[in-house]
Structure 1
C-alpha cells in the first residue's frame, strides 16, 4: 500500500491516469488503517490533474478524520495540501511546518520552509541555506515527486537549471537530464562553451574552432549546425529561446535558465560593491549567499580544457575575494564561522599566507592555543615547500594587536 501511494505521487503530473489508478488501488486494498493517507494521495493526484475542487474536498475530509484519530502526520500533510490550494500558500505553509516537526519529520519541515522562503525571498541567504540543508540530507532542492516540487516552489522556477560550479549537471523541470539525452558529446561541450564565453557572445567560427581545433571552419560549419540542433533537442524543443543566434554570434538567453555561476557572480558583485561604497550592513547577506553558492571550481570535470582556464581562475579569485571580505566583516562576532571561512580559503589556495595568519589569530583569541600551535605548524610546512620562512606565532598574534 505504501508503494502504491508513493507511485501515485511520482506519476501525478506526468501520468495522471496511472497515478489515479495507483491511488484507487491503495484505497481498495486498505482495511481502514491507512484510509487518511489514501485519501490524501487521491487529493494530490486531483490537484496535479487540475481538479482543485475535488482535491479540496478530499483534503477537508482527511483533515477531519486526522483530527478524530489524532494522526499528527496526516494533519501536517492535510495542512500543507490545503495551503497549496490557496492563492497565497505561505500562511498555511507556516502552520504546516511545525506540525511536521512535531512528528519528527524534519525533511518535510525543511521542504515546507524552503517553499515559504522561495515564495517570499527567492535567492536569499535563507533560501540558499535551506537548499543546502536538503542537499546535505541527500535530497535535490529542485527535484523529487510532484508533491515535493509543488511544496518547495520548484514548479515556479525556470524550467532549466544548469550547474557549472563543481560538477556539471542540467535539470529540466526538476529532473536530472540523463546522459543519453545529449546524443553527442559535442552538443554538451557546446553548451559549456556558450556558458563560459557568455560575456562576449562568440562567433560561430570561434565556437567551431573550440569544438574542432584542427579543422578549418568551412569544413565544420555544417557539424556546428548539427551540434546546435542536438543541443536544442536535448534541452527541449520548447526551450528554443535559450539559444540566441544573432547574425554570426551565439549566446544564451538567461531569462529561461537558472545558472549557478550567474547567481554567484551577481551576489558577489552586489556584496563587494556594498563594501566599496561603505554600506557594510548591506554586504553580509549577498556575500554569504555568494560564498554558499560556490559549490566548487568552474567545470571541474574539464580541468585540462585550456579555454576554460581563464574563466575558472576568475571565478576562483572572485570566490576568494568574497570569502576573505566576509570573514573580516564577521570578525570578531562569529569566531567559529570566521574560522570556517578562512579554512575554505585554504581549500582553494593552501599557500595563502594571510589566511594562515588569520586562522592562528582566531584560535588564540578563542583560547584554543593548542589548535593555534598545530595550525601554525601546518602553515610553516606550507611555507617550507616554497622555501620561504614562516612568521613566528607570537609575531602573528602581536601584529594584529599593535
Structure 2
C-alpha cells in the first residue's frame, strides 16, 4: 500500500472513530482531509471500507458540504444506498428524484426526464398515484381500480404489469418500483420524492426544532401536483397543505419569540405567496413590519390582503384583521 493510500485509510478510520465517540468537529476535519486527499490522488477508493462503512461518512460529508461533487460521484459510481432513506441529506444523489410540490418533474441520475410520447402517460400517472398513496405498500387492486376502472380481473393485472414495465424502463432503474405480494412500492433506497420527504419531517418527533421546521418548509415549493383533479391527488394535496400551514405557523411563532423579525417576515411572505388567501398570515406580516418600524409596509400588507380575499373568496378581511389595521393607522 503506497503512502498516500495508507494516509487516506488512516484519515477515514480516524473520522469514523471520532464520529462514534461524539467528536463531531474532529470527525468532520479528518473526513475533509481524507476526501481532499482522495481528490488529489485522482479519485475515491471504494475498497477502503465498502458501502456499510463508507455510506454514513459520505452522508455526513454531504450534510456538511464537504467535497460534494466528489462524494456524489462516488455514490453514483458504486450505487451506494443511503444509510437511512428517511433522514438522508437532500444532497444524496438518488438515482431517481421526483418533484411534486409546485411542479411535476422526474430526474434520473441527475438529468430531467424528457418524454412527450402519449404511451408514457399511464406510467407517469402510475407514479403520481404511488406518490399520493405514500409510496409504500399500495395494493395493486387499489391501483387498477383507479387507473383501469373498466378492466376486469386478468385484464387489469396485465395492464398494470405492462405499465409497470414501461415505468421501470422510463426511470432506467428496475429496482425503483417494487411489486411484491401484490403490493407496489417506490424503493426508498433508489427513489426520493419531495412530498414524501416533507410528510416524514412533518410527523417527526423533533419537528418543533427551528432547524427541522425550516428544512421541512424548504421542500414545500407549492401544492402537491397542482392541476391534477383526481380525488386521490386532492386528498393528499390537502393533507400536505394543512401540514405546511401548521409548520409555518409554528416556525413563525418561534422566530417571533426569538424576536428575529426579518426571518419571521420571510416565513410569512413565503406562506402568502403559496397560499394567497391565508388571512391569519397577513396579520402576522403586518405585526412583523410594525416591529421593524415599517408602518407604511404594514398598511400595504392589509390592502393586499383585502384585494386577495375579495378576488379569491369574494369576502372582506375579518374584524380581527380590520382592527389591527385600524390600530396601525391610529399609531401615527
Q: TM-score range with shorter-chain normalisation? A: 0.5 to 0.7
With over 3 angstroms needed to count, the CA separation of the structure-2 counterparts of 1:118 and 1:265, relative to structure 1, is farther
Instruction: Provide closer, same or farther for how the CA distance between residues 343 and 183 of structure 1 changes in structure 2, counting only shifts above 3 A.
Output: same
1:192 to 109, 125, 128: 128
**Aligned Cα root-mean-square deviation (Å):** 3.5
TM-score scaled by length of structure 2: 0.67
Shift of 1:210: 1.6
Tell which structure's C-alpha radius of gyration is larger. Answer: 1
**Offset of residue 364 of structure 1:** 0.8
Q: Which stretches in structure 2 are left out of the alignment for 5+ residues? A: 6-35, 47-56, 76-92
* Cα 1:118–1:359 shift into 2, 3 Å: farther
Distance 1:214 1:386, change over 3 A: farther
Partner of 1:327: 252
- Following superposition, the deviation at residue 352 of structure 1 comes to 2.4
Aligned mates of 2:287, 2:238 — CA distance in 1: 28
TM-score (norm: length of structure 1): 0.57
Counterpart in 2 of 1:341? 267
Q: 1-side partners of 2:59 and 2:70: how far apart? A: 10
CA distance in 1, matches of 2:69, 2:308: 49
Distance between the aligned counterparts of 1:396 and 1:305, measured in 2? 45
Q: After superposition, where does 1:90-239 map in structure 2 within 5 Å?
A: 119-120=59-60, 122=62, 124=63, 150-151=69-70, 153=72, 155-156=74-75, 157-179=93-115, 183-198=119-134, 201-236=137-172, 239=173
Q: Which residue in 2 is equivalent to 1:314?
A: 239
Give 1:203 shift: 2.3
| Whole-angstrom CA distance in 2 between matches of 1:351 and 1:375 | 13
Q: Is the 8 A contact 2:213 2:247 kept in 1?
A: yes
In structure 2, do the counterparts of structure 1 residues 168 and 352 end up closer, same or farther at CA, with 3 Å as the change threshold?
closer
1:82 aligned onto 2:22? no
Contact 1:187 1:227 in 2 (8 A): yes
Contact 1:209 1:217 in 2 (8 A): no
- Measure, in 1, the Cα distance between the counterparts of 2:304 and 2:280: 13
- The answer on whether the counterparts of 1:357 and 1:396 sit within 8 Å (CA) in structure 2 is no
Whole-angstrom distance in 2 between the partners of 1:79 and 1:182: 49
Counterpart in 1 of 2:182?
248
Q: Measure the CA separation in 1 of the matches of 2:116 and 2:186.
A: 22
Q: Distance in 2 between matches of 1:219 and 1:79?
A: 58
Residue 224 of structure 2 is aligned to residue 263 of structure 1? no
Partner of 1:95: none
Q: 1:308 to 1:396 in 2, by over 3 A?
A: farther
Partner of 1:61: none
Q: Could you tell me which residue of structure 2 aligns to residue 299 of structure 1? A: 225
Q: Determine the C-alpha separation between the residues in 1 that align with 2:163 and 2:135.
A: 21
Q: Distance in 2 between matches of 1:299 and 1:118?
A: 32
Residues 268, 322 of structure 1: 8 Å contact kept: yes
Q: 1:314: how far off?
A: 0.8
Partner Cα distance (2:199, 2:220) in 1 = 10
Q: For the structure 1 residues 121 and 305, does the alpha-carbon distance in structure 2 shift closer, same or farther, using more than 3 Å as the test?
A: farther
Give, in whole Å, the separation in 2 of the partners of 1:151 and 1:121: 10
- CA deviation profile, 1:156-195 (whole Å, cap 9, x unmatched): 2332222222222222222222216895211111111122
4+ residue runs over 6 A deviation: none
C-alpha displacement at 1:288, in angstroms?
Answer: 0.8
> Which residue, out of 303, 315, 319, partners 1:386?
315
